[in-house]
Amino acid sequence: MAGEADFSAPAEVHTFGGLLFDLDGTVIDSTEAIIKHWHKIGKQLGVDPNVILASSHGRRSIDTLKLYDPSLANMEYVAHIEGLIPKEFGQDAVEVPGSRALLDQIEALGAPWAIVTSGTRPLATGWLEIMKLAQPKNFVTAEDVDEGKPDPACYRLGHSKLGIPASAATLVLEDAPAGVRAGKAAGFKVVALATTHSVDQLKAAGADWIVRDMRSVRVMGYDERLIKVRIADSVLLG
């Protein structure tokens, strides 16, 4: 979704107390798997899956189901159907370029990070396990909050789980406008990846930096208090 945007802003280095990652579209790209999943669910519901897909990305499944069959909009059902996605469609997901290297680097340094996703815990852990990606000590998933993104509660909760001072600067990494808005509303800086949405959409959501993918983000060091992050090849926001 990067299009013809000018990704030529000079590299910047900033320090943060912790990092909060969205999952789908940021660490992994499960677009094809999710399309197949919603086609399956749409068929069961008698709803055009393309109508569901038009508004489902970045939203919790429970919030999507409320629109089409409220009787199924409960976490027990959602956790069940989402837990099947990596098992049934695992071959259709790929890692976002640069994400594996970045997560391995963060884990090796022992820097504080968490995943904050609109998916359920079975979905999030299922993807990381099947793709053999680093798993954080802390997750915030759909089960943990009453309102999904763009409500900032998920990112505020993620920050609280990192064990860093409440005032510590925190970096959110996202791909969806709803997630960018959630991160900004929580008071954090946001790097937006133009993997699933247009640069204009991410800019309108208030992203501080917009990059093509995770190859533009590197951790330069961690001194057990501050994470030094280099952000390169971002969009000139002017």
Give the strand order in the sheet containing 12-16.
Answer: 12-16, 227-231, 217-222
* DSSP per residue, 75-117: HHHHHHHHHHHHHHHGGG-EEPTTHHHHHHHHHHHT--EEEE-
Q: Return d(Cα 195, Cα 193) in angstroms, integer.
A: 5
Positions marked catalytic? 22, 24
**Closest to 49 measured CA to CA, from 58, 40, 64, 39:** 39
Q: Return d(Cα 11, Cα 234) in angstroms, integer.
A: 8
**CA angle at residue 107 from 90 to 142, to 5 degrees?**
50
Give the strand order in the sheet containing 138-140.
Answer: 138-140, 113-116, 18-21, 170-174, 189-193, 209-211
Distance in angstroms between the alpha carbons of the first and the last residue of the chain: 20
Q: Which residue in the block uniquely carries the two structure tokens 């409500």?
A: 151
Q: Measured between alpha carbons, how far is residue 11 from residues 26, 37, 108, 232 in Å?
A: 20, 39, 23, 4
